[in-house]
């Protein structure tokens, strides 16, 4: 049996154990930077494999698998562990036991899958040269992003990995398939908080007020011009306001209105320009209408860039592993990922794992209370990542 077939066989052999682990993580989700029990279980599983996990950034876990000639080359594999503040509505045996907390973005899948990959690579450690660094990361869902904290604590040092590879569930792609995209892939993500301040009063006497509700309404519409008229039509940009709060009443004009939203793009230069434009327009328009606007910009994750040569090598390796017909080409995505911080430091590739099964009704998108996966995807995920790691280690340093 050749090495590729051996990886496939080992992925199938440990499927039941890894599915059980995924269900455990799904039942016991923990929010960003609170993944204490998840991290402890991950560390226990790694120790069972004979590895020596260490804690990084409080709830992060890192371990290394040494093959033959471990100093020849090091690569990194990353999974995130945190859940979302969502109340699960799935009626499944492994439903979340933590009210208001749910693995609605598949991080339970990523964690279990990387543990499966670790098991395969540990059993095959004499079949490859080099070292695989396993990174189980906290806080992907919340600023400043666990990746930035791990980088600050040296997770990409001693030695610096030649590359880092990340895998993420994708409910638009059927289970058994994977998707890749070289170059620009995912958007930056910044949070925008506007406080429109006027002078409240009786709704029947608006001439005695400076109505912040009217100012806010103009602002929400006017700021869209930054996307429609300031950005090139060739430059993807999204400006969305999802929260508007005015604590008045039918006949009460409030003193202030709170607005919160997000700006996303795939170009760092335009990102900086657009944020300045948003602040300038918000303040200027509010003043022109007699009020004022306080602007707070919370910087989020940068654009995620998949290193083209690395991504193409991994795509070719994926076609070897699962067949050309099961490897898809991805479009750009306006969602964001803190994996982007790794891509700013070393060659990085972030690919998608299909989890959809229409026949079984498994079609819900991530960040919804009914998100779930076809668990056959775990067999594909752990085996594919193991094969990608082996293939990349075989490349010249």
**Cα–chain center distance at 54:** 23
Spatial distance between the Cα atoms of 248 and 254, rounded to a whole number of angstroms: 5
Please tell me which residue in 45, 80, 108, 140 is annotated as part of the active site.
140
Please tell me which residue in 30, 45, 82, 211 is annotated as part of the active site.
82
Active site residue 82: yes
Active site residue 35: no
Q: For the purposes of burial, counting CB atoms within 10 Å of the CB of 290, is it exposed (0-12), middle (13-18) or buried (19 or more)?
A: middle
What positions carry a catalytic annotation? Answer: 82, 140
């Amino acid at each position: 049996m050749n090495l590729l077939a051996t990886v496939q066989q080992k992925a199938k052999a440990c499927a039941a154990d890894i599915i059980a682990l995924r269900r455990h993580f799904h039942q016991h989700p923990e929010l960003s930077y609170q993944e204490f029990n998840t991290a402890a279980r991950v560390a226990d599983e790694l120790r069972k494999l004979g590895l020596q996990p260490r804690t990084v950034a409080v709830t992060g876990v890192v371990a290394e698998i040494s093959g033959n000639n471990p100093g020849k080359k090091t690569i990194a594999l990353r999974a995130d562990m945190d859940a979302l503040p969502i109340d699960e509505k799935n009626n499944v045996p492994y439903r979340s036991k933590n009210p208001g907390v749910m693995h609605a973005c598949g991080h339970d899948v990523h964690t279990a899958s990387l543990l499966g990959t670790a098991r395969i690579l540990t059993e095959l450690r004499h079949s490859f040269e080099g070292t695989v660094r396993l990174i189980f990361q906290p806080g992907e869902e919340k600023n400043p992003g666990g990746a930035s904290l791990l980088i600050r604590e040296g997770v990409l040092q001693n030695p610096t990995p030649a590359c880092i590879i990340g895998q993420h569930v994708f409910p638009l792609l059927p289970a058994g398939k994977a998707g890749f995209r070289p170059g620009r892939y995912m958007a930056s993500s910044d949070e925008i908080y506007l406080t429109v301040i006027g002078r409240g009063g009786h709704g029947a006497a608006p001439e005695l007020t400076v109505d912040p509700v009217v100012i806010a309404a103009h602002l929400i519409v006017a700021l869209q011009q930054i996307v429609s008229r300031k950005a090139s039509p060739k430059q993807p940009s999204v400006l969305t306001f999802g929260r508007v709060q005015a604590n008045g009443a039918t006949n009460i004009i409030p003193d202030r209105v709170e607005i919160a939203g997000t700006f996303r793009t795939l170009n760092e230069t335009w990102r900086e320009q657009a944020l300045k434009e948003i602040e300038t327009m918000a303040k200027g328009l509010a003043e022109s209408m007699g009020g004022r606007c306080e602007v707070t910009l919370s910087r989020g994750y940068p654009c995620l860039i998949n290193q083209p040569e690395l991504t193409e090598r991994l795509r070719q390796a994926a076609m070897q592993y699962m067949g050309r017909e099961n490897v898809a080409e991805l479009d750009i995505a306006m969602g964001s990922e803190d994996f982007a911080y790794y891509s700013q430091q070393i060659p990085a590739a972030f690919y998608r794992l299909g989890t959809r099964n229409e026949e079984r009704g498994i079609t819900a998108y991530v960040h919804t209370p009914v998100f779930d996966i076809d668990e056959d995807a775990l067999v594909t995920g752990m085996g594919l990542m193991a094969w990608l790691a082996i293939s990349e280690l075989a490349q010249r340093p």
